């Protein structure tokens, strides 16, 4: 979901050697850039629009890709052929994922989430959305994320973890992905840039609360898998 630490995660993996190609590296809503490829974002938007959807009005089901869009996808993938390890990030990908999976036979998916109220507050600041709309969007995106995790292994990070926990998981995850983490702590993650803090006890709609608890458990599974003390995850 947007505003869930996707830029921080992607920028950190780039520090460990993940090739991203030509991506945005600075914008007013994100001082370090969102690390997104405009070309990939344009394709994802085109698929969504063709299916009567947008990033903030998600499709109800699976998106159909036209022949032209599949060819567009393949041309974009070919641009990364020179890189042994490459990746891309765009939260919209979650809404059109099936078409990408057809073109990438063995991708390694990585996920991130954040407390729904923190996301909704961030969307209110950036987009002027009502809190209710932000939480509904969070719910729609993360429902899809959980469905993807039923059929694909997806290590899941929580952007609300403490800096110590987040960096420890990044290091372990980078090694697992075949990357080389920096000798010093990851510089992309800076606590002061995480402007909206989580409120774990804040009341939520039942659907959002249920999804949030499932995501928390999935993230605890990653902590255990990497041998990171879960005590570090609580601020």
Do 63 and 47 touch, CB atoms closer than 8 A? yes
Cβ within 8 Å of residue 59, ≥6 positions away: 48, 51, 52, 53, 95
**Residue boundaries of the structural domains of the chain:** 6-233
User: Rounded to two decimals, what is the model's pTM?
Assistant: 0.91
pLDDT for residue 234: 66
Query: Coil, helix or strand for 101?
Result: helix
Instruction: Please state which CATH number belongs to domain 6-233.
Output: 3.40.50
pLDDT for residue 200: 64
pLDDT by residue, tens only, the chain of 235 residues: 999 999 999 999 999 999 999 887 665 455 566 789 999 999 999 999 999 999 999 999 999 999 999 999 999 999 999 999 999 999 999 999 999 999 998 999 999 999 999 999 999 999 999 999 999 999 999 999 999 999 999 999 999 999 999 999 999 999 999 999 999 888 887 655 555 555 667 789 999 999 999 999 999 999 999 999 887 776 5
pLDDT for residue 31: 56
pLDDT for residue 196: 53
- For 180-194, give the secondary structure using H, E and C: CCCCCCCCCCCHHHC
Burial group, residue 5, by CB count within 10 angstroms (0-12, 13-18, 19+): buried
State the distance between the two ends of the chain, measured CA to CA, in whole angstroms: 22
pLDDT for residue 188: 81
- Backbone phi, psi, residue 158, to 5°: -110, 125
Do 167 and 186 touch, CB atoms closer than 8 A? yes
pLDDT for residue 6: 95
* Partners of 111 in beta bridges: 156
């Amino acid at each position: 979901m947007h505003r869930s630490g996707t830029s921080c995660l992607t920028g950190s993996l780039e520090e460990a050697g993940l090739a991203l190609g030509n991506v945005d590296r600075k914008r007013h809503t994100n001082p370090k850039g969102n690390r997104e490829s405009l070309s990939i974002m344009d394709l994802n938007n085109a698929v969504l629009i063709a299916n009567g959807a947008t990033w903030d009005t998600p499709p109800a089901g699976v998106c159909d890709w036209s022949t032209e869009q599949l060819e567009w996808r393949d041309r974009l993938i070919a641009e990364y052929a020179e890189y042994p390890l490459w990746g891309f990030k765009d939260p919209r990908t979650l809404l059109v994922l099936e078409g990408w999976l057809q073109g990438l036979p063995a991708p390694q998916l990585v996920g991130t989430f954040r407390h729904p109220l923190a996301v909704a507050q961030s969307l209110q600041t950036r987009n002027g959305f009502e809190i209710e709309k932000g939480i509904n969007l969070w719910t729609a995106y993360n429902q899809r994320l959980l469905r993807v995790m039923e059929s694909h292994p997806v290590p899941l990070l929580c952007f609300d973890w403490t800096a110590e926990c987040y960096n420890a998981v990044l290091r372990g995850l980078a090694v697992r992905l075949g990357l080389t983490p920096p000798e010093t702590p990851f510089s992309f993650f800076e606590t002061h840039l995480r402007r909206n803090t989580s409120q774990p006890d804040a009341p939520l709609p039942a659907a959002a609360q249920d999804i949030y608890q499932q995501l928390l458990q999935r993230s605890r599974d990653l902590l255990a898998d990497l041998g990171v003390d879960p005590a570090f995850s609580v601020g």
